[in-house]
Amino acid sequence: MPVITLYYDDLEDLSGIDKNTLIKRIPMMGCDIERIGDDHIDIEFFPNRPDLYSTEGVARALRGFLGIETGIREYKTAPSGIEITKDREIEKIRPYFACAVIRNMQFNSRSIESLMALQESLHWAVGRNRRKVSIGVHDLARIKPPFRYIAQYPGFKFTPLDFQEPMTMREILEKHPKGIKFASILEKFDKYPLILDSEDNVLSFPPIINGELTRVTEETTDLLIEVTGLSPSVSTALNIVVSALAERGGRIETVTIDGGMETPRLEPDIMELKNNEVEKLIGLKFSNEEIITCLEKMRYGARSSENKIEVAVPAYRSDILHNCDLIEDIGIGYGFDKIKPELPATSTTGSSHPISKLRDALREIMVGLGYFEVMPFTLTSDRVQFEMMRREKAEGITHIKYPISEDHTIVRHTILPNLLEILSINTHRELPQRIFEAGEVVLNCKTEQRLGAVAIHPQANFTEIQAVMDAVLRERRMEYEVAESDDPAFIEGRRADIIIKGEKAGVFGEIHPEVISNFGLEHPVIGFELEL
Amino acid sequence: MPQKEYNLTTNEKLVLLALVKTRGLNPDNLAAESGLSVEAAMQAALMLDEKEFLEVFDDNQDYYKFTKEGEDYAINGLPERRIIELLERNPTLNIDELKKMLSSPYYIDYGLPWLIKKRWARIEKGRVIPIILKPEKGSDEKVIDDLKIYKKMNKELWTNNEVREVIYTLEKRDIIEKFTEKRRIIYITNRGRELVNKGITIEEEITQFTPAIIKSGAWKNKKIRPYNIHTPVKPVYGAKLHPYQRLINEMRSIFLEMGFTEIKGDIVQSSFWNFDALFQPQDHPAREMQDTFHLDTECDLPEEYIASVKKMHEKGGGISRGWGGNWSEDIARKQVLRTHTTAVTIKYLTDHPDPPVKAFCIDRAYRREAIDPTHTPEFEQLEGVVMDKGVSFKNLLGCLTEFYHRMGFDEVRFRPGYFPYTEPSVEPEVYIESRGKWVELGGAGVFRKEVTLPLGIKHPVLAWGLGVSRVAMLRLGLKDLRELYQSDIDWLRKSTVV
């Protein structure tokens, strides 16, 4: 999740809120403080609130939450008169598009940093790493409208950001750091998206890189912001960016796309909420006035109309899907700390799951027999499950598609190898060691219950483990027979299968010396594993 | 004052008798003289020491002895001595030739500087030119000879400055090293001597009761040897449950006491139950390969819910905006290792849509995370749900507060949180006195209508997923989560049952 850096001085300029108040109150607005520094704080905001990914957005929310300025922020727009046309071919490559002009900005290093950070966070959270949405910000003074959004052949050349020489778009994908990083987004296409001005100067090669020409500096006052993508979320991203810039004094102007649609569209969405919906979900009775106050603290517009409350949802809020989202914000505005916890009146009787009862019983038996319980990982590897055990690879094993380490490539289907691994990390500890696990394995995608136990000490032998296995089954009143086993993990002539109701249900015996050595052990080891 | 009767054991008497004729014995000799084993003799001696009949005197002495290298030099001579001896025989040898003739080429490296320092030879153009032949033994060599005879040298023996200097040099040259020898001597005290002089008679006493002694009543006329109840005992460790399992059992009991039904489910789940049923959009970052263990396998979807879930994701099912885009059955069919046990609870609720339901589950969840002290790719999660007419967010806070209080966390607070399938969402935190801070212990919320409606669940569902391992770290004082899963047997042995 994006971590936002807020400089106390910048935030105080924008909101009038000092460091101490910030640290104390911001967790109750909904976020995790990552780090508190001397001149800044790093905060992780949730992925449903991309509007909080900038200092400007946080300042706007905090002013409301702390009651400094409440209600909806209305952002006025004026037409810029600038037009942009869309090539038909682009519809197949990156069809969604929105654009805006911001004038009258005064940038300094902090505000440029905040804008760049906002852009990057939006690329992650809304843009899914630029695939779904990508944003370009340009110095409007360097380019001449009208603009064109077209599909261009990879051989087209221009100078990308941070480079001195023109490169073809193909070269950019191969050599430019951003090109290498995001090339996969365009791998299926033979033409690439490109935005040009009336004199064929390149604004951007979305979603990869801007042209060097339109770089934003502290001298920049007027901006063109374009958002391209694969979903209507382009509007959300644009609204979040322009409203943040407006918080710094920028004037928002609209752009005409293909002679028709004007963007950005910052009119609030209107939703209707009933008083009793709030009571039902939160569990507290609120008056309409209280609800309106809470909504206004969360920067909504709200008014009573007949028996409903009409809520104006700001255009930068993309997370309001349902009234429950409004009600959560009412709760936050009211203060989660003021909601008195109350146990539900629901009366039910509890019961343990049969598997838990079974495992509890097995634990009692095994502890009584002198075995310590262990709880190893269920993720393991072919090497441990098969090679080190001298066993043939089995069918029905759960393989992980993109393992994170060589040690965790499959889910175990037997417990014994894990128990031997635990012995192997305890070779420096006193003998005898006796351990067991009543745990789960996965075979053919189904979770199964197993009991496994091993013991290591100089006198460990077949008779000892047979007696333990016999005790377990006797305590569980399970009739069993034994049969010759061919399990290569055990020593021939000192191993046996456990047969219950005519079917193999387990194996026990003396572990094969090769297996003992494979696990780095030096004393006789005995063990059993039982399917339950 | 009447004389106190000293109830001495036979062994104690034997020890006193052994000592009375000597000026002190070490444990081995005491054992030999008393006819007891060293352990038995010393046990008796320590008891007698407490009664002030004898004194067990521990004395640590520092000595010098040869290092491994020093032992070699003691036999073969110092490197500089060996070089000069070779040169005496053949003065034309150059350094390379000398190296070859010595058993280790390092002799040259160690010997040459000393050869020069002692002015026995000088070096010119890669040759060693002797200054004196057959130099007299230096004071360092004399000390080495002495030590060769006596094996160890009390450092107190050297009082004169010159020898002290020599010892310092030898120690720096790694030829000798200090070591401490523990000596224990047992002396009889005057009190003990008096007691022996008054006369000690050895009579038979009972050490171990036997069936014969009990049946015959022979014990009535015999002394029963007392044990020193203050002797520290060698610990024995009984087998026990894993401390983590004990904690899990405690949590299970709390929910059972609160009237919850325990439920279980499969580790391998379809993306449908793990994500889609919970209204997690199909392009949600959590579903990507970075965070989830994806499998190659697929499974069938529950026919009756495909259409309703699809409609909710794409269009909002008439109550919501939905996520837009296309919802793909193929993606939903792909199997994963459950990333949370919510996959189990949502399926249970779907199968049990009639209120009231209070259910919980404590089992493993899997996330694609690299192992480090606070992250493991699998971990236990405590999942709970309450579904009933009229339950609300404040009841969710009530359940969580009750649970944490019963777990011994007195201060609980709730911060707003975010989960795609709950609204409102909270992150419960407890205050940990010892750390002086609030620690987040999971996530909770009221299931969104987008989750419940397509699955035919008509009443509000309060849900939570709590990190069990976090609690374990706090409770068991662990700094590394791996200890839970790759346990040190000594840690298990020494863990306490409280």
Whether B402 and B465 share a structural domain = yes
For residue A71, tell me if it sits in a domain: no
Same-domain pairing of A43 and A120:
no
Distance from CA of B91 to the nearest CA of A (A): 56
Do residues A291 and A423 both lie within one domain?
Answer: no
Name the minimum distance, in Å, from the CA of A142 to any CA of chain B. Answer: 37
Residue of A nearest to B393 (CA): A282
The verdict on B427 and B470 lying in the same domain is yes
Mark yes or no for CB contact A435/B324 under 8 Å.
no
Residues of the domain holding B281: 246-493
Cβ contact B448–A400 (<8 Å): no
What's the pLDDT band for B99 if we cut at 50, 70, 90?
A: confident
Total number of domains constituting chain B? 3
pLDDT at res. B6 = 67
Whether B378 contacts B364, CB under 8 Å: yes
Q: Is the pLDDT of residue B5 over 60?
A: no
Q: Are residues B357 and B481 in the same domain?
A: yes
The alpha-carbon gap from A201 to the nearest alpha carbon of chain B, in Å, equals: 34
Q: Are residues A369 and A477 in the same domain?
A: yes
Phi, psi of B345, deg, nearest 5: -70, -40
The alpha-carbon gap from A402 to the nearest alpha carbon of chain B, in Å, equals: 7
Which chain B residues contact residue A35 at CB under 8 A? none
B359 neighbors B429 (Cβ within 8 angstroms): no
Q: How confident is the model at residue B76 (pLDDT cuts 50, 70, 90)?
A: confident
Q: Please give the share of chain A, as a percent, with pLDDT higher than 90.
A: 90
Say yes or no for a CB contact (<8 Å) between B321 and A442.
no
The verdict on B449 touching A (C-beta cutoff 8 Å) is yes
Residues B450 and B489 in one domain: yes
- Name every chain A residue with its beta carbon within 8 A of the beta carbon of B299: 445
Confidence of residue A139 (pLDDT cuts 50, 70, 90): very high
**One domain for residues A119 and A259:** yes
Confidence tier at B159 by pLDDT (50, 70, 90): low
CATH assignment of the domain containing A132: 3.50.40.10
B400 at A interface, C-beta within 8 A? yes
How confident is the model over B316-342, as pLDDT tens digits? 988 888 888 899 999 999 999 999 999
**Segment A4-18, tens digit of pLDDT:** 999 999 999 888 899
User: Residue A407 domain-assigned?
Assistant: yes
Specify the pLDDT at position A493: 95
Task: Find out whether B250 and B33 touch, Cβ atoms under 8 Å.
Answer: no
Candidates A328, A378, A408; nearest CB to B424? A328
Q: What is the ipTM of this complex?
A: 0.91
**Is A349 close to B448, i.e. CB distance below 8 A?**
no
Quick one: closest CA in A to B256, which residue? A350
pLDDT reported for residue B2: 40
Question: What pLDDT does B115 receive?
Answer: 86
Within-domain flag for A346: no
Both B208 and B262 in one domain: the answer is no
What average pLDDT does the segment B73-102 reach?
Answer: 84
- Tell me the pLDDT tens digit for each residue of A238-263: 999 999 999 999 999 999 999 889 99
Q: Which CATH number covers residue A32?
A: 3.30.56.10
**Residues A248 and A287 occupy one common structural domain:** no
B437 touches chain A (CB under 8 A): no
Residue B371 near chain A (CB below 8 Å): yes
CATH label of the domain that carries residue B416: 3.30.930.10
Task: Judge if A19 and A40 occupy the same domain.
Answer: yes
Cβ–Cβ below 8 Å for A372 and B493: yes
Residues of B (184-223) whose Cβ lies below 8 Å from A: none
In this prediction, residue A173 carries a pLDDT of 94
Is the domain of A500 the same as that of A400? Answer: yes
Do residues B41 and B143 share a domain?
no
If asked whether residues B439 and B419 sit together in one domain, one would say yes
Question: Does any domain span residue A349?
Answer: no
Same domain, A233 and A328: no
Chain B residue numbers with beta carbons less than 8 Å from the beta carbon of A376 are 485-486
**Would residue B406 count as lying in a domain?**
yes
Whether residue B289 and residue A402 make contact (CB cut-off 8 A), yes or no, is yes
pLDDT in tens, B122-149: 888 778 888 887 888 888 888 888 888 8
pLDDT at A128: 87
Q: Which of A234, A263, A292 is the last residue of a domain?
A: A263
CATH number at residue A366: 3.30.930.10
How many Å from the N-terminal Cα to the C-terminal Cα in chain A?
42
Q: From the candidates B249, B274, B380, B492, which should be mutated to test the interface with A, based on the most A CB atoms within 10 A?
A: B492
**CA of B109 vs chain A CAs: smallest distance (Å):** 40
What is the C-alpha R_g of chain B?
41
What are A429-479's pLDDT values in tens digits?
A: 999 999 999 999 999 999 999 999 999 999 999 999 999 999 999 999 999
* Residue B308 shares a structural domain with residue B278: yes
Q: Are residues B218 and B263 in the same domain?
A: no
Question: Residue A429 and residue B490: Cβ atoms within 8 Å?
Answer: yes
B53 within 8 A of B20, measured Cβ to Cβ: no
The structural domain count of chain A equals 4
A308/A358 same-domain check = no
pLDDT recorded at residue A461: 96
- B232 occurs within a structural domain: no
Are residues B325 and B273 part of one domain? yes
Q: Contact, A94 vs A149, CB < 8 A?
A: no
Q: Are B416 and B424 in contact (CB under 8 A)?
A: yes
Instruction: Write the pLDDT tens digit of every residue in B280-310.
Output: 999 887 787 678 999 999 999 999 999 999 9
How far does the CA of residue B465 sit from the closest CA of chain A (Å)?
Answer: 18
Q: Which residue in chain B is spatially nearest to A349 when comparing CA positions?
A: B259
- Residue A142 DSSP symbol: G
The residue range of the domain holding A45 is 3-65
Are both A365 and A451 inside the same structural domain? yes
Closest residue, chain B, to A406 (C-alpha):
B370
At A166, the pLDDT band (50, 70, 90 cuts) reads very high
B255 contacts chain A (CB < 8 A): yes
Do A257 and A155 share a structural domain? yes
Site from B267, B320, B372 to mutate, A interface, most A CB atoms within 10 angstroms: B267
Q: Specify whether B70 is located in the same domain as B201.
A: no
A143 and A226 in a single domain? The answer is: yes
Residues B287 and B372 in one domain: yes
> What CATH number does residue B198 fall under?
1.10.10.10
* Three state DSSP letters for chain B: CCCCCCCCCHHHHHHHHHHHCCCCECHHHHHHHHCCCHHHHHHHHHHHHHCCCEEEEEEEEEEEEECHHHHHHHHHCCHHHHHHHHHHHCCCCEHHHHHHHCCCCHHHHHHHHHHHHCCCEEEECCEEEECCCCCCCCHHHHHHHHHHHHCCEEHHHCCCHHHHHHHHHHHHCCCEEEEEEEEEEEEECHHHHHHHHCCCCCCCEECCCCHHHHHHCHHHHCEECCCCCCCCCCCCCCCCCCHHHHHHHHHHHHHHHCCCEECCCCCEEEHHHHCHHHCCCCCCHHHCCCCCCEEEEECCCCHHHHHHHHHHHHHCCCCCCCCCCCCCHHHHHEEEECCCCHHHHHHHHHHCCCCCEEEEEEEEEECCCCCECCECCEEEEEEEEEECCCCCHHHHHHHHHHHHHHCCCCCEEEEECCECCEEEEEEEEEEEHHHCEEEECEEEEEECHHHHHHHCCCCCEEEEEEEHHHHHHHHHCCCCCHHHHCCCHHHHHHCCCC
Question: A-B interface: how many C-beta pairs under 8 angstroms?
Answer: 252
Task: Evaluate if residue B3 carries a pLDDT over 60.
Answer: no
